[in-house]
A and B are shown apart, each in its own frame.
Chain A
C-alpha cells in the first residue's frame, strides 16, 4: 500500500469528523445529538471496550516467568544485585514499573547504531524519541487534568493549582498554557518522524497516522477554541455538569468550535480501546517488566502445564544396555 494512502485515509477521516458537527446548525435536536448522545456513546464504548480488552488479556495466563533482566541477579551475598533491573520483590517490581510508566525508562536507554567505514559500529545516545514521547504524554496528562475544571463543582483544587502552574506565561491578556505548546511541538515531531525517517515510515500503518492526526485534531481544535474561535465557556461547563448529574441540558449559545472539539474527543476515546493506544494499560501487563527475577527461588505455576511425551530412562537403558554394560557404566537392570 502506498504510504501516501496510509496518511490520506486517516486525514480524510479526521476531516469528516471536523465537518460533521456542522449539522448542529440544524437546530436544538441536532445539537443534543452532538452535545449529549455522541459523547455518551463514546464514553460507554471507552469504558466497556477498555474493560473488555483488559479482561480478555487477563483471561490468558502467564505460563512462564519471563522478565527481561537488565542488571545483576541476586545470587551470592557479596555480589551487589541490581534491585531495579533485576527485581527480586514486589517493591522492586513496583519501582521498576513506576519508572517505566512515568519516565519511560526503557526508552531512555535508546541509542542509535551507525555502521561506519572499517566495519565499525558507532553507538550514540538517541533520546529525541524519549523526549518527544515523554513531553507528549505528560502534556496530555496535564491537559486532561486541567479539564477537571469543567467536570467538578466546586473546581477540584489540584486542577486549579496545576492550571496556575501551567499558565506561567501570558500573551496579551490571554493565558497561554505551556502544555498546549509542548503537546503541539511533540505531536508534530512524532508525526514528522513517521513521514521523514525511512524506516519508521516503512513500518507505519494507517492506524498510526490516524491516532496522531486525531490527537492533533483534538489539540488544535482545543487551542483554537481558546484563542480565536471563542465558545461560551460557561455554557460548556453547564453542559458538562448537567451530564454528570444525569440531567443533560444544552445551551444553544455554546458554539460550533466546541462541537468540533467534542466530536474529535468522542471519536478518540471511543477508538481508544480498539487501538494501539491500549498500550497504556498494556504496559502493566507486560510479563517482561512486571515479573520478578526469582524463578529459581520461587516456583512459577503454569495452569496448563500438560504432560508431554518424554523418553524415560528405562526406554533409554533398554536401547543402550549392552554397550553401557560393556563400557562399565552402571545400569538398573542387568538384562
Chain B
C-alpha cells in the first residue's frame, strides 16, 4: 500500500507529460505500492527456477549471477530462434505511438514507460545493442543501450506492470503484441533469478497440489461438500458432488479461486446447481483442480508443465471431454496453447453436449469447451427453466475479461446467458467492451496487495466505465467470467465507484435457475434476501 493513502481524486490527477531526459536512462526507483515482491527461495526451488536466491527488489544489490549478461543475451538468442513473434516484434515497430493511450497502466499512471511502445523499447534497446549492426555501431544514437543491472531492475519493474491483456495489439497497425514482449522479458528475468512471489508461489503450489491455492485433495472435497450444503440450504436439494470419478463423461476444470474466495465461490455454487439440474455425468478432479495457469506468467515451459495435468487427468479418469469454468488467462492457455503444448487430445472424443446433442465443432481438436458456450447452448435449446426476476435487485453490466475477449472472441455467449438470467442488463461504453475491453489491472500475476496502487491505477479505465453505467443506469453488479476479476474488482470498485458488486455469470444463472424439486427460494446464492420488495422491483424497468 502507498505510504500515504491517495484518495481517488488525488490518484486521478495523472500527469501525462513525459519527464525531462531520455528514456534510455533506466528508471530504478521502486515506489511503494507499485511493484511486486520477489519470490521466496523455497518457491523458486520448488519450480526449479534458474539461479534461485533470497532477494528483494528494494535491495541495492540484487545478487544477480555474475554472468547475468551472458545469461540474458544467450537467453535472447535462444528465444529469438524459437519465437518468430519475438524476433519480428523487436524489428518492425515504427514507434507511431498509436498504442500509447490504449494501455490501462499508462492511462492510470501517466508513466511513459507504460506506453506499450516504450515497454517494448526497454527490450529492443538491448536487442539492438547485441544483435543489430546499427545498434552495435551507433550505440545510443542507434537506439541501443548496454545491458546492466539497472536495466534488469527496470525490466523487473515494467514487465510486472503489464497484465498481458493484449489491448494494444488490437490497435497496433502491425499487430505487435506487448503480451509477447512481456512474456519474453519475464522469461529473461527468470534466467537471472528475478521473479515475483505472487506468480511463483501459486505456480509452485499448483505444481505440487494441483491448484494455486495449495488446497490438498481432502480439503478440496470438504470445500465441495460445503458448497453442496450451502446449495441445500438455499434450494432444499441435496447434491452429491462427484470428485475424481472414473468413467465420468466430462471432466470439469475451473480456477481454484472458485473453491474458496468470494465472490468466485458463488459461481461455483452456480456450476454445481446447473450440473445437477441437467443431470450431467461429470467429475471434479483434485489433481487437475486448477484451470488457471500462473506458469503462463513465468514462461511457456512452466505454463506447459502446469497445463499437462488436464490431459493427463482426463486420460486417467477416462472422460470423453473437458469442460472449463469461468477464467481469463486459463482460457488463453486452453484456447491458444493447450493443444500445442500437451496435445493431441486424440484419446478424448469430440465434445457433444449430452443434453442437447450439440456438437462443439470449434473444440473438435482440443476437446475442451467453455462453460459459457455450454450453458448458452442449453438455454438456446430451452433445457433450462429460468426466472430472471430473481436477479431483479441487480442492474447488471458485463466486463469482457481480456483473454476470453481478445484471445478467443467469446463475446455473445456470456451476454446471452446474462440476458436470459437477468432482466436489467446495460452495456458499458463501446470503447471499453468486447475487443476493446480494459483489464481489471491485476491480471498476469500483478494481483498482490503490495502492488495495490498500481492495480488501482491500472483499473481506472475499467472502473471509470463502470462508474459511467452506475451513474447513468444505476448499475450495481459487474458480471465477469474471470477468477482474477472476481478477486480484483471488489477492492477496485470499492475504491473508484462504490456500490457496484462483482459476480460470475454462473452465479447469476444459479440465482435464476429453477430447479426441479426446489423449495421456494428465500435468498440468492449470497444468502441475501431474494428480491427485497420484489413487486416494486418488477415495475422498475
Give Cα A328 to B463, complex, Å: 45
Binary per-residue interface labels of chain A (275-316) against chain B in the complex, 1 for a CB within 8 Å, 0 otherwise: 010110011011111000111111111101110111111001
Say yes or no: is A11 at the interface (Cβ < 8 Å to chain B): no
Give Cα A300 to B217, complex, Å: 33
Say yes or no: is A181 at the interface (Cβ < 8 Å to chain B): no
B324-381 residues at the A interface, CB under 8 angstroms:
334-337, 339-341, 343-344, 358, 360-366, 368, 373, 376-377, 380
User: Contacts A203-B23, A286-B88 given: A66-B413 contact, CB under 8 Å?
Assistant: no
User: Contacts A64-B336, A308-B304, A320-B216 given: A113-B107 contact, CB under 8 Å?
Assistant: yes
Q: Decide if A133 touches B96 in the complex (CB within 8 Å).
A: yes
Say yes or no: is B41 at the interface (Cβ < 8 Å to chain A): no
- Residue from B92, B102, B209 whose CB has the most chain A CB atoms within 10 Å: B92
B167-186 residues at the A interface, CB under 8 angstroms:
169-177, 180
- Residue from A86, A204, A279 whose CB has the most chain B CB atoms within 10 Å: A279
Give Cα A257 to B96, complex, Å: 32
CB-contact partner of A313 in B94, B102, B316, B432, under 8 A: B316
B280-308 residues at the A interface, CB under 8 angstroms:
286-287, 300-302, 304-305, 308
Give Cα A63 to B429, complex, Å: 36
Interface SS, A side: loop
CB-CB under 8 A from B142, the residues of chain A are: 205-207
Q: Decide if B287 touches A316 in the complex (CB within 8 Å).
A: yes
Say yes or no: is A174 at the interface (Cβ < 8 Å to chain B): no
Chain A proximity of B326: nearest CB distance (Å): 16
Give the bracket for the number of chain A residues in contact with chain B.
35 or more
Say yes or no: is B191 at the interface (Cβ < 8 Å to chain A): no
Give Cα A70 to B343, complex, Å: 26
User: Contacts A86-B409, A121-B465, A313-B313 given: A199-B18 contact, CB under 8 Å?
Assistant: yes
CB-CB under 8 A from B366, the residues of chain A are: 295-297, 299
Give Cα A120 to B466, complex, Å: 10
User: Contacts A62-B84, A296-B365 given: A106-B101 contact, CB under 8 Å?
Assistant: no
Chain B proximity of A303: nearest CB distance (Å): 9
Q: Decide if A203 touches B246 in the complex (CB within 8 Å).
A: no
CB-contact partner of B405 in A66, A69, A109, A274, under 8 A: A69
Q: Decide if B218 touches A323 in the complex (CB within 8 Å).
A: yes
Chain B proximity of A310: nearest CB distance (Å): 5
CB-CB under 8 A from A58, the residues of chain B are: 84
Q: Decide if B94 touches A208 in the complex (CB within 8 Å).
A: yes
Say yes or no: is B134 at the interface (Cβ < 8 Å to chain A): yes
CB-CB under 8 A from B91, the residues of chain A are: 53, 57, 276, 278, 282
CB-contact partner of A299 in B95, B134, B335, B343, under 8 A: B343
CB-contact partner of B208 in A61, A319, A330, under 8 A: A319
CB-contact partner of B97 in A73, A200, A294, under 8 A: A200
A-B contact count (CB 8 A): 324
CB-CB under 8 A from A308, the residues of chain B are: 301-302, 304-305, 308
CB-CB under 8 A from A62, the residues of chain B are: 83-85
CB-CB under 8 A from A246, the residues of chain B are: none
Binary per-residue interface labels of chain A (240-271) against chain B in the complex, 1 for a CB within 8 Å, 0 otherwise: 00000000000000000000000000000000
CB-CB under 8 A from A60, the residues of chain B are: 80-84, 86-87
Binary per-residue interface labels of chain B (311-326) against chain A in the complex, 1 for a CB within 8 Å, 0 otherwise: 0110010000000000
Chain A minimum-CB-distance residue to B315: A313
Say yes or no: is B411 at the interface (Cβ < 8 Å to chain A): yes
- Residue from A69, A106, A311, A329 whose CB has the most chain B CB atoms within 10 Å: A69
Q: Decide if A121 touches B98 in the complex (CB within 8 Å).
A: no
Give Cα A123 to B461, complex, Å: 11
Q: Decide if B87 touches A113 in the complex (CB within 8 Å).
A: no
Give Cα A276 to B169, complex, Å: 18
Q: Decide if A71 touches B97 in the complex (CB within 8 Å).
A: no
CB-CB under 8 A from B24, the residues of chain A are: 1
Q: Decide if A73 touches B408 in the complex (CB within 8 Å).
A: yes
Chain B minimum-CB-distance residue to A80: B412
Give Cα A285 to B287, complex, Å: 39
Say yes or no: is B265 at the interface (Cβ < 8 Å to chain A): no
Say yes or no: is B14 at the interface (Cβ < 8 Å to chain A): yes
CB-CB under 8 A from A74, the residues of chain B are: 361-362
**Interface residues of A, Cβ cutoff 8 Å to B:** 1-2, 5-6, 9, 53, 56-66, 68-76, 78-82, 85-86, 100, 104, 106-107, 109-113, 115, 119-121, 123, 129, 133, 197-208, 274, 276, 278-279, 282-283, 285-289, 293-302, 304-306, 308-313, 316-317, 319-320, 323-324, 326-330, 332
Known: A203-B112, A310-B309. 8 other contacts (CB 8 A): A68-B406, A71-B409, A79-B376, A107-B173, A109-B170, A274-B132, A276-B94, A320-B217
